[in-house]
Chains A and B, each alone.
Chain A
Amino acid sequence: MSQNTSTSTSTSTSALAGTGVSIDIRNVVKRYKSMTAVDDVSLSIEPGEFLTLLGSSGSGKSTLLNIIAGFISADSGAIEVGGKDLTKVPPYRRDLGMVFQHYALFPHMSVWDNVAFPLKRRRISKAQVAERVQRALDVVELGHLGKRRPTQLSGGQQQRVALARAIVFQPQALLMDEPLGALDKRLREQLQLEIKRLHRELGTTFVFVTHDQEEALAMSDRIAVLRDGALVQVGTPVELYERPASRYTAEFLGESNIFTGRNHGVDEGSALVVRPEHVRLSAVGSALPTGHNAVDGVVREVVYLGSGLRVEVALPDGRHLITRSEVRGALTPSPGLPVAAHWHPEHALVVRDDTAA
C-alpha cells in the first residue's frame, strides 16, 4: 500500500478543480445619464488566466464586472464565456462564481448551509453535497467551523467562507470585486497568497477587481488598467511596470519620476518616465558614468525601508524626484546634501502624456 504524501488540502483542491474558460468582452458600453461608466471596452481573457481590472475609484471596474456577471445589462456590446454569448442570459444561469467586498454571506444560514447553497440549487445528491461542502471548507481551512453563523466569524474567515461558496460548484470562472478591501493589511496579504494558491490549484479563470496597484502587481497574470470607463492598457505586471504605454499607467503602477517639457528634451504631448530604482545619486561635481542624464538637487528626505533607502531630492524647479537605493551605497544621503541624480538613458522611457486635463 502506498502512502499518500500529499496534504489533505491539496487533494481537496484538485477534486474541485475546474477547467478554465475564456471570457471575451466585446465593445461593451454602459452609460448612466450623461456619464459613461464603461466606455467601449474590448478585452479577451485567456482560459485559466488571472486577470485584474485595476483603476481608481469610479473608473468602472465594478460596473464591468457586474456586466460580466449579468447583474447590469450593457447598453451595447457582448459578453462571451467559453465561446458562448451570455449577453442575454440571466446571472443565475451564467455559472460564474462571485465574491464581494463585504462577503455577502447569508446571515440566517450556518457556514455549512452557505457553502451548500449553490449545490442545492443544482440537484446534487445529499452525500455528494456533504462531501463537496466539506472539501471546499477544507480548502479554505475552515472545515471545523461549519456549524457557526457568519456573524460569529472574523472578517478574514467570512471572506474564506465566501470563497469556498464561490468555488464549491466548480463555476466556469470566478469574479471577485475588491474581495480584500475590507480586511487589514496583514490579513490582506495572507489572503492574497491564498487566492493565488487557489487559482494555481483550481485552474479556473479568475477576474479580480482592485484599486490597489501593489495587489494587482503581486497577484495577476495580466492587468487591465481602466480609467474613466475606458481601457488604458493591458499587459503582464512586468510589461505594465517596465513599459507603460502612457504617463497615466506609469504613475498609477508603482512610483515614477516624470519629466515633461523641452528643457528635458521631451516633445509636447509626451513625458519621460524614470523609475526610482534606476536613479542613482552622486556628489555634485563628481564624475558621472558616461552617457548618463543628470539633474542637480538637494536631498529633502531619507526614509529607511529596511531593504533599502527611499530618498526624495528637491529639484530647482520646485518638484521632487524619488530614488531607491541600497543602504550601503557610494554616497550616504542626508537631508540638505546637494546631489546629482542620474540615470542611464535606456531607463528613461518616453511615453504618451495622457494626464493633461
Chain B
Amino acid sequence: MNTKLLCRGSLVVLVVLTALYLVAPVFFVIPTSFNDSSFLEFPPKAFSTRWYEAYFQDPAWINATLNSLQIGVWVTILSVILGTAAALAMVRGRYPVKALVSGLVLAPVLVPYVIIGLAVYAVFLKIGLTQSILGFVLVHTALAVPFVVINVSAALVSFDERLEMAAMSLGANRVTTFLRITLPCIAPSVAAGALFAFITSFDEVVTSVFLAGPDVSTLPVQMWSGVRVQIDPTVAAVSTMLLLVTLALFASAGLVRLFRARRLAKVA
C-alpha cells in the first residue's frame, strides 16, 4: 500500500516537472515581451507594449512575416498533394523498388537539416534560387512531405479497401472513387498532415538561414538574427504572438473534432 502510494507520488512529481520543463520558456517569454527595457530582461521591471509596436512598425519584421505566411501556404498545398500521392503509392502500389522509394520519400526527416541546408545552398546559389520565395518553398516542401506521408499512409493502412470495391461495383470509376470515398474517409489525417506541413515550414530555421539574405527573409530567420545581432526584445513579442496563433490553430482543430463528434451523437 505504502509503496504504491510512493510510486504514484513520484510519478506525479515527474509528470509535473516534465510539463514545467516543457512550458518553462513560455513563463520567460511572455513577461519579457511586455518589458519596458531595451534588453531581454527577466524578470521585467516595468510594463509596456513598446516591443509589440516595434514589431508592427518595422517593415523588416512585417515582410518576414508575410514571406513566412506565403511560403507556408504554398508548402502546405504542395506537400499535401505530393505527400498524399506518395502515401498512396507506398501503401497501395505493387512495384519492385517500393522499399527504396519509401526510404527516399522519408529521408528528409533523417538527414540532418544542416547538411540539407548546406547542400541546397551550394546548388541554389548557382541557379539563383537563394533569397527567393520559390527556393524556400522547394526546400520546405521536401521537409514537410514526410509528415504528410506519415499521417496519410497511417490512415490508408486502416482504410477498408472494400469500400472502394463497393463504390466501383456501384459504377464509380477510379477518380470518382478516390474523390468521393477514399479522400473523405482519410480527410482528418490529410488535414493533420497539412497542419504539420504548415508548421514545419513556418518554424524552419536551419535550412532557411542558408537561403535567407537582406532581400528575402522569413520570420524564424528574422528572430534568429534578432537575438544574435542585437538582443532585440521584439523577438519576445513575436514569440508571444506566435504562441497565440499556434494555440488558436490547435484549439480550432480540437473544436472541429468535438463538433463532428457531437453532430454524429445527436443524430442517434
B185 A97 Cβ-Cβ under 8 A:
no
Instruction: Report chain B residues within 8 Å CB of A108.
Output: 184-185
Query: Does B110 sit at the interface, judged by CB under 8 A?
Result: no
Alpha-carbon gap, A93 to B181, bound state (A): 18
Instruction: Report chain A residues within 8 Å CB of B165.
Output: 69, 71, 91, 98, 100, 104
A100 B162 Cβ-Cβ under 8 A:
yes
User: Which of B162, B184, B185 has the most chain A CB atoms closer than 10 A to its own CB?
Assistant: B162
A90 B267 Cβ-Cβ under 8 A:
no
Which residue on B lies nearest to A66, using beta carbons?
B165
Given the known inter-chain contacts A121-B176, A148-B267, A149-B264, please indicate yes or no for A104 contacting B170, CB distance below 8 A: no
Query: Does A261 sit at the interface, judged by CB under 8 A?
Result: no
User: Which of B169, B180, B267 has the most chain A CB atoms closer than 10 A to its own CB?
Assistant: B169
Within 8 A of B (CB), among A114-165: 117-118, 121-122, 147-149, 151-152, 162, 165
Instruction: Report chain B residues within 8 Å CB of A100.
Output: 162, 165-166
Which of A98, A122, A151 is B169 in contact with, Cβ under 8 Å?
A: A98
B162 A102 Cβ-Cβ under 8 A:
yes
B171 A121 Cβ-Cβ under 8 A:
yes
Instruction: Report chain B residues within 8 Å CB of A152.
Output: 267-268
B164 CB → nearest A CB, Å: 9
Instruction: Report chain A residues within 8 Å CB of B171.
Output: 92-93, 95, 118, 121-122, 169
A274 CB → nearest B CB, Å: 43
A117 B167 Cβ-Cβ under 8 A:
yes
B267 A121 Cβ-Cβ under 8 A:
no
Instruction: Report chain B residues within 8 Å CB of A240.
Output: none
Decide if the interface of chain A is mainly helix, strand, loop or mixed.
loop
B170 A107 Cβ-Cβ under 8 A:
no
Contact with B along A229-267 (1 / 0, CB 8 A): 000000000000000000000000000000000000000
Alpha-carbon gap, A71 to B267, bound state (A): 35
Which residue on B lies nearest to A96, using beta carbons?
B169
A92 B166 Cβ-Cβ under 8 A:
no
B169 A147 Cβ-Cβ under 8 A:
no
Query: Does B163 sit at the interface, judged by CB under 8 A?
Result: yes
Instruction: Report chain B residues within 8 Å CB of A149.
Output: 264, 267
Which residue on B lies nearest to A102, using beta carbons?
B162
Contact with A along B156-187 (1 / 0, CB 8 A): 00001011011111111110110011001100
Instruction: Report chain A residues within 8 Å CB of B160.
Output: 102, 104
A104 B166 Cβ-Cβ under 8 A:
yes
Instruction: Report chain A residues within 8 Å CB of B184.
Output: 108
Contact with A along B216-247 (1 / 0, CB 8 A): 00000000000000000000000000000000
A101 CB → nearest B CB, Å: 9
15 further A-B pairs in the complex, CB-CB below 8 A; given A106-B185, A121-B170: A92-B171, A92-B174, A97-B170, A100-B162, A102-B162, A104-B160, A106-B167, A106-B181, A107-B185, A108-B184, A117-B167, A117-B180, A165-B170, A166-B169, A175-B169
The 7 residue pairs across chains A and B that have the minimum distance between CB atoms: A118-B170, A98-B169, A121-B171, A104-B166, A91-B168, A92-B168, A104-B162
